[in-house]
Amino acid sequence: MAELFKLMSVEQAWEVFKKNISLPEVKAEEVSLLISLGRILAKDIVSGVNVPDFSRSTMDGYAVRARDTFGATEAMPAMLEVAGEVFMGQNAADPVSSGQAVKISTGGMLPGGADAVVMVEYTEQLDGKTILVLKPVAPGENVVERGEDIREGQIVVKAGSAVRPQEMGAIAGVGITSCPVVPRPLVGIMSTGDEIIDPRQTPGPGQIRDINSIAVAGVVEEAGGQAVQYGIVPDEFSHLEQSLKKALRETDIVVVSGGSSVGTRDVTSAVFSALGEPGVLVHGVSVKPGKPTILGVVDNKPVFGLPGHPASAMVLADIFLVPLIRAYLGLGFSSPGRRTVRAAMGRSMASASGRVDYIRVALRATGELPVAEPVLGKSGLITTMVKADGMVIIPMAKEGLEAGEEVDVVLF
């Protein structure tokens, strides 16, 4: 078992952790397109059709042969015979011959012989059978060609992509109503502590409602995993061992919140190592908040011991748990591409040498650069996360930030 609080850097902890994890083979499950939002595609989506399947107008007007409008002006308009009309949702039965035009609406099927559409605004009705074209059009103008959006045989969405609303629309557009996605890894979550009670209960003396298991479940779901709650477990070896055995059988990753600091009643690390090899790999990471963190592997199942303080638990879950979930989804040990904004620090912040500090900040709009105001408070206060818009990371080699110094804010 790793020596308690032999602190490692984040990079060292990841190196040790990865060496002892064998990621499962990425599989696929078929789900309805309607519930695919946010899921990761397991296979390429290939179109079997052209979209659109016919050339169509993008404007209300007249389908024409572009060459019949060349040189047309308001002073010398082109005169065309109206040969018919295209009705929405119907085949364009009337072809366009030289010197003719066919009335058409936006989305209507371009009739044979036509290669452009003159907008109705640039025409005048001379009589019931004739229009004047006041402006020329080029071939393809105001027209979406057959297959211009998606070609038959084209990859519409690549494997490994997260399905967004636009991908859902594109997949539906080629007639596919279900898609193969990577199964969401199951993450078992439990809180330890004799002082922790269910959020639905009223705290008695010395008791507090469980914040961490709910907040960590949100981190898991946002990252693409599926949270499975195992409730609150007493700070006793046998109880925690029993709950962990159940969670290890039923889920892919297990997270225990609390019980990671050095104390007589903190048994998480002991249970991790007793349940299987190699047990605890890391106990203590050089970050603030979140130093007393446990990383371990039990019979190839990753296990985490997160600090009991809510802000610490969320920061460390973001550093280690989120990339692990993404690796299970076939995305590698990566962090989600969060937006960053450039800002000026609102006040000076000191940082101890030899650790990485994650400073919670709220952004305030002023002048050219927004100001990043540190949200001060102990890591046991969940409201410091609620009030913050993001975090500023102070690297291990830097001893703090000066007021006015430009920084990158990683937005939540």
What the block records as the tokens of 412 is 């939540």
Distance CA 234, CA 209 (A): 14
In this structure, the answer to whether residues 365 and 384 fall within a common structural domain is: yes
pLDDT band with cut points at 50, 70 and 90 for residue 272: very high
Region 235-242: what's the mean pLDDT? 91
**Sign of the four-CA dihedral 219, 221, 226, 230:** positive
Encode pLDDT of 165-210 as tens digits. 999 999 999 999 999 999 999 999 999 988 899 999 999 998 999 9
- Residue 285: strand pairing partners: 8
pTM: 0.86
Measured in whole angstroms, the distance separating CA 342 from the mean position of its chain's CA atoms is: 22
Same domain, residue pair 166 and 133: no
Asked if the structure places residue 36 within a domain, the reply is yes
Q: What is the CATH number of the domain that holds 135?
A: 2.170.190.11
Residue, of 91 and 63, whose pLDDT is higher: 63
| pLDDT over 90, % of the chain | 81
Mean of the per-residue pLDDT values of the chain: 92
279-324 pLDDT, tens digit each? 999 999 999 888 889 999 998 999 999 998 899 999 999 999 999 9
Residue 20, in any domain of the structure: yes
**Tens of pLDDT along 30-78?**
999 999 999 999 999 999 999 999 999 999 999 999 999 999 999 999 9
* pLDDT value at residue 362: 97
Residues 300 and 278: beta-carbon distance below 8 Å: no
Q: Is the pLDDT of residue 93 over 90?
A: no
User: In this structure, is residue 334 part of a structural domain?
Assistant: no
Provide the token pair at 406. 């430009």
Predicted pLDDT at 3? 44
Residues 302 and 317 in one domain: yes
* Predicted confidence band of residue 262 (pLDDT cuts 50, 70, 90): low
299 lies in the same domain as 189: yes
Q: What is the CATH number of the domain that holds 163?
A: 3.90.105.10
- Tokens for 290, please give them: 């979140």
DSSP string computed for 237-303: HHHHHHHHHHHHHH-SEEEEES--SSSTT--HHHHHHHHSSEEEEEE-BSEES--S-EEEEETTEEE
Q: What stretch of H or E contains 357?
A: strand 356-364
CA angle 274, 280, 284 (to 5 degrees): 140
When comparing pLDDT for 151 and 264, which is higher? 151
pLDDT(5) > 80: no
How many independent structural domains does the chain possess? Answer: 4
- In terms of residue numbers, what domain contains 169? 29-48+158-181
Domain annotation covers residue 4: no
> How does pLDDT run across 65-83, given as a tens digit for each residue?
999 999 999 999 999 999 9
Nearest to 14 by CA among 396, 234, 249, 316: 316
Exposed e or buried b per residue across 217-256, where buried means at least 16 C-beta atoms within 10 angstroms of its C-beta: bebbeebbbebbbbebbebeeeebbebbeebbeebbbbbb
Is the pLDDT at 264 greater than 80, yes or no?
A: no
Same domain, 352 and 402: yes
> Are residues 231 and 307 both part of a single domain?
yes
Six-digit token string for 358: 């994650």
Strand 100-104 with 61-64, pairing? antiparallel
Residues 263 and 294 in one domain: yes
Domain boundary among 95, 117, 144: 144
Which of 104, 101, 76, 77 is CA-nearest to residue 91?
Answer: 104
